[in-house]
A and B are shown apart, each in its own frame.
Chain A
Amino acid sequence: MVDEIKIQVGFEGHYEELTVTLPEGDIPPYQPADKLTVVGKSHPRLDALAKATGTARYAYDQRPKGLLYGAILRCPHANANVTTLDTSTAEQMPGVKAVLKATELFESNSCRFAGAEVAAVCATSEQIAEEALRAIFVDYEVLPFAVTLEDSMASGAPQVGRRDQENVERTTPRLGRDRDGSINEEREKAAQDGMAEREKKVDAILKDAPVVISRTFRTQVQTHCPLEPHGLVCEWKDGKLIAHASTQATFGVQGELGRRTGTTPQVICDHVGGGFGSKFSAGREGVIGAMLAKEAGAPVRVMLTRRAEQTAVGNRPDSKQKLTMGLDREGKILAYRIRSWGTPGAGTGGAGAHNDALYKLGEIDKVEYGVRTNTGGARAHRAPGWPQGVFALESMLDEAAKAIDMDPLELRRRNDSHKVRKAEYEIAAKRTKWQDKRGKGVASGSVRRGIGMASSLWFSAGGGGASALVRILKNGTVEVRNGAQDIGTGTRTIMGQVTAEELGLGLADVTVFIGNTDDPRGPASGGSTTIGSLTPAVRLAAHDAKRKLLDAVADRKSWDAAGLDLKHGSVVDGSGNALISFRAACALLDEDAIEVLRDRPTLGRRRPNYAGFEDTNAGVQVAEVAVDLETGEVRVEKVTAVADAGKLINPKLAESQVRGGVIQGVSYALFERRTMDRQEGRMVNADMESYKILGAADCPEIDVVMLDVFNGKSNTGVMGLGEPPIVATAAAVANAVADAIGVRITELPITPRKVLEALGKVPRTRAASEKKGTSL
């Protein structure tokens, strides 16, 4: 039966009543008036001690008896075809237990970037495995290459792909294709007609717009760089593959390795040393690990080297975004034109930039292109497409505000209708003393200070496909189980809190099992959906287990079960009086345990959640920077981050997510950049010494303000938080730098050189090099 109920939604000072239809079998969401004792409290994460003391075991730490060491031979050329691959010498070497040819395993002899997999071995030691790689003979047909956007787009550029693939392909709107993937002229004409119509419409508005500004923005390639590299330890036991994987998707890896091996593997992931979007697939290294273990008849560890990690398993693509905005003098945005190009490696997918979101932007004309280069391919990277798009969009907003002599905060207010974000603007402004600091350019010697802001949004309240098992044992212990992974966001702790709250227990009374595909199915940790997807299933399973326990107790004691509840470690009556302890209640069970498995309630395939306060969650960040006008050095001194993640289950962990996003965002704004050698076609900074990442000394003070928003949407009302905190940071920093020095820097990362160039203190190098192409 589907229930229609009235709920309170909103946040302090902004509550409203909403009538919603609950999914069948579901329970109402947490409400502002609820007196919660575990949910909403800042508990340290359950695995904090294990991680701090080094006892947490990652995939890298698995050492099954007889472990062999895998190693992968990679192509040294940026663009080549393997013509000969002779592994016979390596196969005969003492200590070598198995050799695989990637060309056969992956049905392709093309290597489209320096670092593509060619062959793999496993041996009794890492040294022998490395020696065996050197004994493999490979002959390549070496092809010309292009590793930068400009080189690839230049007239007469070498072909990056194969067959009839062009280097530049329109990705938005997508090319009109036929059912076999070939271009369908009729559909393509329809797409082009639509583009022409939008272009004409925006042309007309821009022609009459009182203010029109145009700017071109550039962002760099940010490589994935998790502390724990990609990889896994595989072993076969009685025909079953067991894979200890460093992954964001235990069930995704299970599915992929299952298809590749014709089995149903068990995937185990106790802890992950960072994923950030790059660890959804088993990857080539995963298939290699599984097949080497099978061939060798022994467990095999394949973990990538740092060089491989930074070249072969993903990055955030670069971008070139040409934007034009028309607005009136009151700050209303009338029209917006976007032409953008991105380099997601040898393919074209993933090149998009979210530069047309957040605000009411009037009529939009957007065309995007993917540009193939002979570089390692893109993968999802914490808020894919957002930091680069929002950097450009928010820079445009500040430029627009400057053009009409308006406070940038006021311009945002006038083009934004999000109820939570509107409140966040005011919180951020008050907390940072925005009005006192903006545009003041406070100087101290050669240092000039500035302040800038930017916004973010996110969508997810989670979806279906998650299940949870709650078990209450006769001895009073409680377990909650799900097979998904905790990638460091605190999923393990949050599951425990939701279970404990429902059962009237403390967090320490609940044992959480996570990261094993033998347990109930759970989602991948992507799109900031894990907790939003999992917690409604956990809460419902705990709720139903509670009712079963109370029914059993009522039956034994001849009490009315309907009036009973679990609070503060006891069974309580309708007045809240403790009747019997939880442990004593469990001892009354006839069976050994109550076990309840529940799926995440949803309203249906296309509409998993009911209507809530807002469809998206909101964030506002303000950065304060100090720029040395003599050296060009930018220091981000403080970032104030006001964030919304729906109902907060654990404010401490939520704050931790925001801090992580800000740190990664500042790192993206100032430091990180993949550098390609255009002559050799290789990444020259594929290590953690020369690929600069923000360190402790570079870290700003971070002031986090979390709004507790009762958004409804599910029985926990949790919204995504892993990704949104990185969305606004680089844009806020860029706006702060412009406020400090009075000149706009349109390219990330904001290096000292670019600051000095912008100030006219050193000659510009970019314009000349762009003609022929340069490293990004």
Chain B
Amino acid sequence: MANQKPVFLTDDVCPCLRTKTMTLNTEYRRSAYEDSFTADTAIFHCLRTMCGHGPDELDVAADMCRPGRECYVVDPDTIA
């Protein structure tokens, strides 16, 4: 398995980003992000589009859904 160290800390990942690993270990969301980031089989989706690309039509992933991206959401309740 290809393991790579995360480039970023995970605190500011867009709260709309989702992946399977996040649902496995409910107490440790941050750890789940980090694990997902290093897995070469991780598949992400966006809560707004409910698919693998964001509202800006680009892929969603732990290293891409960051502040500065045009569809980045600070408050996840805004999608309700």
Contacts and interface: CB of A to CB of B under 8 A. Distances in A.
A347 B52 contact: yes
Contacts of B41: 350, 352, 354, 380, 384-385
Point out which of A106, A345, A533 has the most chain B C-beta atoms below 10 A from its C-beta.
Answer: A106
A728 to B, nearest CB: 16
Nearest to A169: B59
A56 B41 CA distance: 34
A180 B67 contact: yes
A29 interface: no
Interface in B65-80: 65-69, 76-77, 79-80
Contacts of B44: 349
Interface in B1-47: 1-2, 4, 7-8, 16, 18, 20-28, 30-31, 39-45, 47
A287 interface: yes
A165 B59 contact: yes
Contact of A260 (B8, B45, B79): B79
A380 B40 contact: no
Interface residues of A, number: 72
B69 A181 contact: yes
B20 A380 contact: yes
A177 B48 contact: no
Nearest to B77: A262
Contacts of B18: 256, 281
B80 A347 contact: no
Contacts of A352: 2, 39-41
A332 B57 CA distance: 48
Contacts of B52: 345-347, 349, 377
Contacts of B57: 108, 110, 161-163
Given A106-B51, A179-B8, A344-B43, A527 B24 contact: yes
A384 B25 CA distance: 18
B4 A606 contact: no
A584 interface: no
B67 A347 contact: no
Nearest to A521: B26
Interface string A374-385: 000111100011
A523 B40 CA distance: 22
Nearest to B43: A350
B43 A179 contact: no
Nearest to B55: A107
B54 to A, nearest CB: 8
A368 B40 CA distance: 9
A282 B49 CA distance: 12
B8 A465 contact: no
Contacts of A280: 20, 23
A119 to B, nearest CB: 15
B64 A465 contact: no
Nearest to A172: B2
Contacts of A465: 25-28
Nearest to B64: A181
Chain B interface category by residue count: 35 or more
A377 B51 contact: yes
B47 A110 contact: no
A259 B76 contact: yes
A106 B20 contact: no
A348 interface: yes
A262 B76 CA distance: 10
A482 B59 CA distance: 35
Nearest to A248: B23
B23 A107 contact: no
A163 B80 contact: no
B66 A181 contact: yes
A175 to B, nearest CB: 8
B67 A179 contact: yes
B55 A174 contact: no
Contact of A187 (B7, B47, B49): B7
Contacts of B56: 163
Contacts of B28: 463-465, 605-606, 608
Given A174-B4, A256-B18, A349-B44, A464 B25 contact: yes
Given A281-B50, A283-B50, A463 B24 contact: yes
Given A180-B67, A463-B28, A259 B77 contact: yes
B59 A349 contact: yes
Contact of A366 (B2, B8, B16, B64): B2
A280 B19 CA distance: 9
A524 B24 contact: yes
B63 to A, nearest CB: 5
Contacts of A282: 50
Nearest to A357: B1
Contacts of A357: 1
A685 to B, nearest CB: 23
Interface in A218-261: 249, 251-252, 255-256, 259-261
Contact of B20 (A165, A344, A345, A526): A526
A262 B78 CA distance: 9
A180 B26 contact: no
A464 B24 contact: no
Contacts of A171: 40
Nearest to A523: B24
Contact of B26 (A177, A523, A608): A523
Contacts of B55: 107-108
Nearest to B80: A262
B59 A348 contact: yes
Nearest to B15: A259
Given A107-B48, A357-B1, A524-B24, A349 B43 contact: yes
14 contacts: A108-B57, A161-B53, A161-B58, A163-B57, A177-B64, A178-B68, A259-B76, A277-B20, A346-B53, A349-B59, A354-B41, A377-B52, A464-B25, A526-B20
Interface of A: 106-108, 110, 112, 161-163, 165, 171-174, 176-181, 187, 249, 251-252, 255-256, 259-263, 277, 280-284, 287, 344-352, 354, 356-357, 366, 368, 377-380, 384-385, 463-466, 521, 523-524, 526-527, 529, 533, 602, 605-606, 608
Interface of B: 1-2, 4, 7-8, 16, 18, 20-28, 30-31, 39-45, 47-53, 55-59, 61, 63-69, 76-77, 79-80
Give the 5 A-B residue pairs with the shortest CB-CB distance, closest first: A352-B40, A262-B80, A180-B68, A465-B26, A181-B64
Given A172-B2, A378-B43, 5 more contacts: A106-B49, A344-B43, A349-B52, A380-B43, A523-B25
